[in-house]
Chain A
Amino acid sequence: MKKYDTPLIDELEKGPWPSFVTEMKKAAKNNEMANDAVGHLEKCFRTKVGYWKHGGIVGVLGYGGGVIGRYSELGDEFPGVAHFHTVRINQPSGFFYSSAALREICDIWDKYGSGLTNVHGSTGDLVLLGTKTDALEAIFAEYSSRGWDLGGSGSALRTPSCCIGPGRCEWTNYDTLDLNYALTQEFQDEIHRPMFAYKFKIKMSGCACDCVASIARADMSIIGTWKGHIEVNQDEVKNYAKNGMDINAEIVNMCPTQCISYDGKELKINNAECSRCMHCITRMTKALKPTGERGATICIGSKAPIVVGSLLSWVIVPFIKVEPPYTEVKDLIRKIWEWWDENAKPRERIGEVIEMKGMRSFLEGIGQTPIPQQIKEPRKDPFMFYTEDDMAAFKAKEAEEKKSGKYKF
C-alpha cells in the first residue's frame, strides 16, 4: 500500500477535539480505498480545491436512490478513490443501536467499502463513505438480508428523522420515535423511487425545543404541542428559588407573553395567554408540566438558501392529533404531495412553489381553512383576490345581517 506524506492534514491530528484525520488513518491501515482518500485529502489541503466530480447515476436494482455516485478527477493518481460512492443506510428512530447491530454494519462495510462512515449524515442516515460500483449489489444484499434498508436520495422523500421523544424526554407531546417509524414504513416507495419534483424532508420534534431543527430544514415539520394548562408544583418552585434561581429575572421577565407572576412564594400562570414556548418548562422541569390534550403543529416549506433564499417552515395546521395509526397525518402528507406534484416545476421545493402559487392555493389544495394561528400578521397591502364564491359569501352574510338587524364582522 502506498504511503502518503501528509504534513498538512497531520496538523489536524493535534489538539484536544477528536480528529477526523485520525479516523481516516485508522481506516487506511488495512484499506486501499481509505488510504487513497487520505492522500487525496492532503492534496485538497495543499491546493485549496476539491477534486470530486458530480455524482453519476449508480444504484441497486429496483431503487432510484440510496446510493450517491462519487468519482474523483484524480482517479489515476489515487485509484482507490476513482469510484468512492456513498451508501445511505436508513437509521433506526432516535439513532438508538445495540452493539451487536452496529458490529454487523461494520463487518459488512469493512468487507466491501472503505471502512469510513458518517454517524450520521445531516438528514439522519447512517452514511457509508466510499465504495465501488461493482460492490453495490452485494452490499445491498448483505444489509437488506439482515434487516437494514437504504435511505432516500435525489428527488424523493428523504429518510425521515426525529428527536429522542418518549425514549428519554419528559417534554415530548407525541411519540416521535413511533411516528417516524410509521411514516418511514408507510412511504417506502416514495423513499426508494424518486417521483417528486425535488427532495422532500420530514422531521419530527416532540416539543418547541425542536431538537432535530425541523422548523429550519424540513419541508414538513411536525412539532409537538399541547392544549391544556401547565401544572405547577409549588414545592419544587420553592426548591428552585432556594437553590439560587432568580425566578422573576429568569422566568417571569423572560416569558414572551408575560403570563407568569411570582410573589416570592407562589408561581402563577395565566394559561389562556401562554403561547407554549417551553422556556419556563425547560428551566424548571421539576416544577412545571404541560397537561391536557397532546398533539402537534404542522409547518411546511423550510429549506437552505438554494435557489431563492432560505425559508423557515410556515404553520399550516396549528393542531393535529398524532396517534396510531396516524391516518390523519398520512392523509395530509398525501394531499400535500398531490398539490406539489400538480404545481411544481423540476427542482422546486414545496416552500418555493407555495411562494409562487400563493398560500391560499396551497391551503385550499390540501383542504385547510384560514385561521390566525397560521400567520404572524395579516397582509399589509390591499392587492388581493376576490373569487366569485368569496363575493357571494360576503353578500350572503350582509343579507342575513339585514334580516336579523345585527352585524356579524
Chain B
Amino acid sequence: MALPQRKTDIGPPHYKQFLPPVIQKNYGKWKYHEVINPGLMVHVGESGDKLWTVRVASPRILSTTTIREHCDIAEKYCGGFFRYTTRNNVEFLVSDEKQVEPLRKDLTARGFKMGGIGSGISNVVHTQGWVHCHSACTDASGLVKAMMDELMPYFESKRLPNKVRLAVACCVNMCGAVHCSDIAVVAVHTKVPTIAHENFKNMCELPTVIGSCPTRAISPDPANKSVKINAEKCMYCGNCFTVCPPISIKDPERDGIAILVGGKVNSLRSNPKFSKLVIPYISNEPPRWPKAVAAIKHIVEVYAKNARKHERVGEWIERIGWERFFSLTGIDFTFQCIDDFTFMRDTMRTSSTFKW
C-alpha cells in the first residue's frame, strides 16, 4: 500500500482542538479549585461552570492497549477528552457532575488507582533504566514500582504535611528534575572505568573524551593510542563512557543507588532547592530493591511525624538543621555527605552554633 505524503516542520497539532468545551468556554477564566479527595478535584470558572478532574496512576510505560482503554473511558464519561500530567498521571476531565461517580466506579472496577492530588505522594518522575537506556546502572521503572507499592496509601488517601515529590534517575545524567526532588534516588557507579584501548582510536575523539571529565582525571596515553584515567581523581560519573563506547563502567556487583533529600522546584515560602545526599550507597537488589524502599519509606515517615503543616521536606530540614535530620532518621553520616566536588565552599558550616 502506498504511503501518504510526508510533511516536514509542521510542529504539533494545535492544542485547542483537544480542549473539552468547558475548557474552551472558561479558558483563562478560572476562579478557584477545591481538592475533594486525593483522586478528585473541581475547578470553578468565573462563569460558574465546573470541571471535575479525576486523576489516575500510570506506570508511564504504557502499551497501546492501555492507551486505548483510556480512550474508551474518556469517550464514555468525558466526551473523549483527557490529558496526561507532567508527572505522567492520567486525568479524566468531566464537565457533568452526574458522570463523576460512575466514572470513579468504572475506574475502580477496571483496576485503575485514583490519587496523587494535594499533600501526599504523586507519581514518581523517572528515567528509562534497563528497559531502554544504554547508560542505566539500575532499572528505574522497577524501583518506582517497588517504592510506590509500599507508599500507595500516600497516593490514595493518607495525607502528609505537604506534597512529597519523588524521583528516580538510573544514572547521574538524571533525565528529568531528579536533582530538585523531596526524595531522589540516583543510581551510581562506584568503580574507575576500564578501557578497551584497541578500539579507542576507531571510535573516540581524544579531545572530546578528555573534555568530558569533570575532574580532569583523563589524560592521553600515546603508547596505546588511547587515554588513561587517574584513579585518584575519578568520581565514576560515566560521562567518558557516554562519549566513548570502548570505555566501560558498568559493574553488576558494585553499581548501586544513592538517596538525596530536600529538593523542591517551586518558590512557595522558600527558594527552589537541590536535593542533598544522605545515603551514599545501597546495593542494586532487583526485582524489589527492599533496602532502598525501606529507606525511602522511613524518611517519609520521619518527615510526616516531625514537619509542620505546609513544610516541604527541605524546609523542615532547614528549620531543624541537618544534624537533627541525621539524628531523627538514624542515618549514618559518611564522608560522601561532605561535598568535595564543586559546592564545598557553600556547604560547610561556618559557625559554632549547632545542635547535638
Contact = CB atoms under 8 A, between A and B. Distances in A.
Interface of A: 8-9, 11-12, 14-24, 26-27, 29, 34, 37, 41, 44-45, 47-50, 52-55, 60, 62-63, 70, 84, 86, 90-103, 105-106, 109-110, 115-124, 129-130, 137-138, 140-142, 144-149, 161, 163-164, 166-170, 172, 175, 177, 181, 184-185, 188-189, 192, 208-217, 249-250, 254-256, 277-279, 282-283, 285-286, 304-310, 312, 345-347
B66 interface: yes
Contacts of A121: 175
A350 to B, nearest CB: 17
Given A170-B33, A279-B269, A347 B208 contact: yes
Interface stretch (B52-60, B97-105, B193-201, B226-234): B52-60
Contact of B252 (A47, A53, A163): A47
Interface of B: 3-15, 17-19, 23, 27-33, 43, 51, 53, 57-68, 70-72, 74-75, 80-86, 88, 93, 112-113, 125, 127-137, 139, 141-142, 144-146, 148-149, 152, 155, 169, 172-180, 208, 211-214, 237, 239, 242-243, 245, 250-253, 255, 263, 265-270, 272, 274, 284, 286-288, 309-310, 341-343
Given A16-B152, A20-B145, A106-B67, 9 more contacts: A15-B145, A16-B113, A50-B129, A54-B245, A137-B6, A177-B15, A213-B86, A216-B177, A306-B174
A45 B284 CA distance: 10
A15 B65 contact: no
A279 to B, nearest CB: 4
A169 B30 contact: yes
Nearest to A213: B177
A300 B259 CA distance: 27
Contacts of B5: 141, 145
Nearest to A62: B8
Contact of B134 (A45, A54, A116, A163): A54
Contact of A55 (B4, B19, B31, B134): B134
A256 B269 contact: yes
Nearest to B284: A48
Contacts of B134: 50, 52-55, 70
A95 B66 CA distance: 17
A356 B27 CA distance: 43
A214 B86 CA distance: 11
Nearest to A103: B71
A12 B146 contact: yes
B188 to A, nearest CB: 11
A406 B81 CA distance: 67
Nearest to A115: B64
Given A12-B146, A18-B58, A145-B6, A92 B284 contact: no
A94 B177 contact: no
A304 B127 CA distance: 13
9 contacts: A14-B149, A92-B14, A95-B83, A99-B71, A119-B58, A122-B175, A149-B10, A217-B180, A347-B208
A41 B32 CA distance: 45
A129 B53 contact: no
